[in-house]
Amino acid sequence: MSDIVDWPRQHFTEPAGEPFLFYVAYGRLPQPLGLSASKYRCSGIPPRIDVMQYGPEHADVVSSFRSDYLWEELKRRAPAFAASIAQQEHCVVIRGHLEDAGTLNDLRNVIGLLTCLLDSGCVALYDPQMFKWWSPDEWRRTVFDSGLAVPRAHVAILCSGEDGGTEWIHTRGMRKFGRPDLSVHRVPSTYRDAVIDLCNRFIELQAFGGTVAEGQTVRMQSLPPGITCHHCGSLDDPDFNNVHLEVEWAAA
């Protein structure tokens, strides 16, 4: 397994959180699994990750992820894909915590496991942390095929309208890296692209082990001065299912 490439976190100095993963693969758990180390870049399933199969005897669990707004949107946008998921009587839930360490090797290992499940007959992956349904082709193309850690593929940037014509730009998915999500309220259209750029920079910084200090200022030529970052929220916050950084504009 020495030929499996490490995924280092170049900004990591010490643990600062507890990474948490949660995925649902629709289909059966193959027996035997056939998790080839070389093919899937997987040196083993991390010790605190649970792999649990549910079938017709647990129909409430299997159907529970196919019952919300995201599912209705998927049926509207991709009816054939949704129909293939709806036909499944089994799902595999992969969830648990990782060590906050100097590499993303455990994430790499879980990505290998998930790809193996898709190659073995599972028709879709659901990622509730970033509100995302993955088809096998999109997962391979976006997440697996490069062989590299691609943090932005694991975090969603969401834009929600606010009163007065501004937007709330926020993320979901940073808990996978044991780091806070991001929230920026009252974003005018003139700064929309710059704030999305800021979110992407913070996603990369934190995913690769960095931390953001309380009150840290933001210095970007594309944004006005005086912007600061503040730690907020809890893991029970339904907007993030995570703590978050509130990025605040300077007082007028």
pTM of the model: 0.95
The answer to whether 168 touches 187, Cβ cutoff 8 Å, is: yes
The answer to whether 199 touches 185, Cβ cutoff 8 Å, is: no
Q: How high is the mean pLDDT in each 10-residue block of the chain (252 residues)? A: 86 97 96 92 97 96 95 97 98 98 98 97 97 98 97 98 96 98 98 98 98 97 97 96 97 72
Q: What is the pLDDT of residue 113?
A: 98
> Which residues share a beta bridge with 75?
none
Which alpha helices (DSSP H) does the chain contain, by range? 37-40, 59-64, 69-77, 79-86, 105-119, 136-139, 192-207
Q: What is the pLDDT of residue 1?
A: 46
CA distance 252 to 250: 6
